[in-house]
Amino acid sequence: MEETFKTAVEHIRHATYISVSNQDKLLLYAYYKQAMVGNCNVDKPGLLDFTGRAKWDAWNSVSGKSKQEAMDAYVQLVNTIDPGWQTKC
């Protein structure tokens, strides 16, 4: 699964033909951070840091997921965003 996860990460980074909603971008960010770092370990950004706060909230919302669960969720979300992406890589 780790190899599939890495391929999915690279695909999302370089697939310019797909449009990803802000909500999905936040979820991808959250699952990626959870898989790579673990539970959210940074202070919550201030109220005026809208982007930082949205990212923090997303990452914090998946706290408790294991590395494997986060990688699985990331790949499943990529499958939803771009069905058949693995044949395009």
The predicted model scores a pTM of 0.93
Which residues, 6 or more positions from 55, have their beta carbon under 8 angstroms from its beta carbon?
26, 29, 30
- Give the pLDDT of residue 67: 98
User: Which segments in the chain show pLDDT lower than 70?
Assistant: none
- Give the pLDDT of residue 62: 98
Domain count, the chain: 1
Q: Where in the sequence is the domain holding 47, given as residue range(s)?
A: 2-12+21-87
Q: What is the CATH number of the domain that holds 72?
A: 1.20.80.10
